């Protein structure tokens, strides 16, 4: 419930930011129901609002959501066997629902955690987006109230624990440097895609940390 309530606040900021960027109020609402991927939605609206092309926004969203492929392999067994359950369950597959399911060793508890988290987040996120979109029409510029900082702050809070790992930290820092260095010179959306080069640092650090094989007698 705490995660769901947090999602409603982040959803409200997305709705307000989208309307403040010039989109009609119904567009972020429809996007949230059909796509249901907060990070990709923020990225797409941000790229288009900054003058980037829709193609760059779509490409960036697809790259960001590529992580759902291993997610599906990891939690596919908890969705159920029927085609309707698998279609709906796939739509509810986000970072939080996957994490809650994988934290349970018992299959029944994993299934319950997945659906409870996915459904509650879907409802609270979409309600938050609707409220934010309607409020955004009255607020004017949402950046005046700091709503534009809600999502980056939430993502940073989720990322910090993972930065304890040296390989992940090096990859994140390398990607951040690349994105910051190229932002003044490239169209919106491209710096984010180039930040994927940070994965090279992740691979390099991982190789250095691998223990050397013991000599055979």
pLDDT of residue 215: 54
Stated pTM of the model: 0.69
pLDDT of residue 45: 85
What stretches in the chain show pLDDT beneath 50? 217
Model confidence pLDDT, tens digit, residues 119-171:
999 999 999 999 989 887 766 555 565 655 665 666 676 677 778 888 888 88
pLDDT of residue 92: 93
pLDDT of residue 10: 84
User: Which runs of consecutive H residues, i.e. helices, occur in the chain?
Assistant: 2-20, 26-34, 38-49, 54-64, 68-75, 83-91, 95-102, 107-139, 150-159, 166-182, 190-194, 198-209
Cβ–Cβ < 8 Å for 188, 50? yes
pLDDT of residue 117: 93
**Residue written as tokens 């590529």?**
66
């Amino acid at each position: 419930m705490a995660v769901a309530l947090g999602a409603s606040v982040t959803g409200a900021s997305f709705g307000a930011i989208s309307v403040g960027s010039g989109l009609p109020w119904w567009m972020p609402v429809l996007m949230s129901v059909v796509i249901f991927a907060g990070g990709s939605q923020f990225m797409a609206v941000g790229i288009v609002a900054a003058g980037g092309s829709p193609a760059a926004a779509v490409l960036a969203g697809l790259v960001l959501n590529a992580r759902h492929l291993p997610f599906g392999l990891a939690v596919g067994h908890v969705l159920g066997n029927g085609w309707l359950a698998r279609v709906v369950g796939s739509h509810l597959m986000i970072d939080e629902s996957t994490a809650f399911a994988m934290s349970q060793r018992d299959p029944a508890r994993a299934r319950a955690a997945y659906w409870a988290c996915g459904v509650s987040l879907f409802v609270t996120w979409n309600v938050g987006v609707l409220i934010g979109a309607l409020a955004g029409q009255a607020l004017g510029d949402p950046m005046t109230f700091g709503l534009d900082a809600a999502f980056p702050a939430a993502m940073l809070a989720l990322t910090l624990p993972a930065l304890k790992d040296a390989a992940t930290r090096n990859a994140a820092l390398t990607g951040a440097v690349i994105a910051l260095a190229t932002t003044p010179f490239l169209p919106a959306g491209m710096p984010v895609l180039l930040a994927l080069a940070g994965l090279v640092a992740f691979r390099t650090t991982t190789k250095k940390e691998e223990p050397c094989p013991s000599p055979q007698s």
